[in-house]
Amino acid sequence: MAGVREGNLEAPKRRPIDWQNPEFYAKDSLYAELERVFDICHGCRRCVSLCDSFPTLFDLVDESSTLEVDGVDKADYRKVVEQCYLCDLCAETKCPYLPPHEWAVDFPHLMLRAKAYRYQTGDTKWRDRLITTTDPVFKTLSTPGIGQLANAVINSPAMRTAIDKTIGLNPKAPMPKFHTRTLSRRLGEQHDVATPAQSTDRTRGKVAIFVTCYGEHNEPEVVEDMVAVLNHNGIAVRLLQDARCCGMPKLELGDLKAVEKLKDANLPIFLEAIDAGYDLMSPIPSCVLMYKQEVPLMFPNDANVARVKAAFFDPFEYLMLRHRAGLVKTDFSQKLGTIAYHVACHQRVQNIGMKTRDFMQLIPGTEVATIERCSGHDGTYALKSETYEKAMKIARPVITRVEQSAPDHYGSDCPMAGRMIQHGLEMKGSSAHAEHPLTLVRRAYGI
């Protein structure tokens, strides 16, 4: 180890995901790399307060015969992998050994490799394959007649217990509501403004919204608020029709071929919008991250993927860029008071800064307190019978912070994180609802 640097002061640089190389799925090389990285993590332990992967790993080491990684049964490595939900916080906010450091530790992408190996070898539950197939499942559950039944089942303790026993979804887990009046039944495709688009050095002044499965079926009102805020600021909006899931659920499952198919379905829709002069945006941080980071790392030599990456924005990243150019209205008519704002993990790792907080602080009479901890929802993690309690443990510090601050409003850019926080507060007797920052900004504008 002589001459090896301790830590790293250079900007981190994630390496491409070599998922199309057969060696990516070779068991021996995979397990050798797991042992190498686990040994580095064991010697560091900086990430112990993040997800349960790290306490699981360190317990395995500390309970082994050698008190080192070489004493851990390799069959138990899967226990570490199962607790990773690819939030990326360890890599982007904690790890000093991410490339370009010579140790080249990228824990989330190593976990992704292990998940992909398990998926390829058939070592996944049918439940997980089902609940990550969001397009057909969500569309079915939002069908008139079926949607009302689905929501009734979600709210029935007896039915939830039966689902727990048959499918493995925890009966206490916070489930989303399915709207039969979906976004596409509420809003048309085009939402123009009276004034011509004004461009800046990075934005073009017209936005095509990738509404996502969640925005279409579960919280369409958030997309309605987004359209209203953008239109109020002179930004024409197009809602992208026929787009598929972003692929994040399949990525977390390790089904990388499915991610490729979803990318192939979405790219022509995105590129057509870019060619028509639109920037791209999504209300869900995970969906933005997929096209800003994960898909580009899976397809590093695809010029069309690079074009989409360059055109994709977080909503408040976009608004702050426009504000810096003097193109955002600050004619707020209503103060919001105190806001407990949870910073979503998949927004934090975009490395754009706290643009949501910065924008809300433009509103007179508004004070924003940020919470930079995981909400515990983490895709499907909080829904599963075997990980719900772990998810609640992860969420507890966030829930406590919101409860103790007694804010006028609370919420997150991630609607699922907001729902998880609300779930925890409801268990303590609170009736306050989580509100998306776009909803709060629309209210402040009085529109």
DSSP codes of every residue in 155-197: T-HHHHHHHHHHT-B-TTS-PPP--SS-HHHHS-SEE--SSPP
Q: Sorting pLDDT into bands at 50, 70 and 90, what band is 241? A: confident
330-445 topology per CATH: Rossmann fold (3.40.50)
pLDDT at 8 over 70: no
**77, HSE (Cβ side, Cα atoms, 13 Å):** 25
The two three-digit tokens of residue 304, written as one number: 């069309």
Confidence (pTM):
0.93
pLDDT at 359 over 70: yes
For the stretch 117-167, pLDDT in tens is 999 999 999 999 999 999 999 999 999 999 999 999 999 999 999 999 999
pLDDT at 32 over 70: yes
Any residues with CB less than 8 A from the CB of 389 and at least 6 apart, and which? none
- End-to-end Cα, the chain, rounded Å: 62
What are the helix (H) ranges across 299-363? 303-311, 315-324, 345-348, 355-360
Integer CA distances (angstroms), 281 to 34, 221, 364, in order: 36, 16, 26
Report the sign of the C-alpha dihedral through residues 42, 5, 353, 196, in that order: negative
Please give the Cα distance from 288 to 305 (Å, whole number): 13
Residue 379 has a pLDDT of: 85
Residue 378 has a pLDDT of: 83
**350, HSE (Cβ side, Cα atoms, 13 Å):** 28
Domain ranges of the chain: 22-120, 126-166, 183-321, 330-445
Q: Output the average pLDDT for the chain.
A: 94
Q: How many CB atoms lie within 10 A of CB 404?
A: 9
pLDDT at 394 over 80: yes
| Amino acid sitting at position 194 | A
The two three-digit tokens of residue 7, written as one number: 């830590």
For the stretch 48-100, pLDDT in tens is 888 999 999 999 999 999 999 999 999 999 999 999 999 999 988 889 999 99
Residue 1 has a pLDDT of: 44
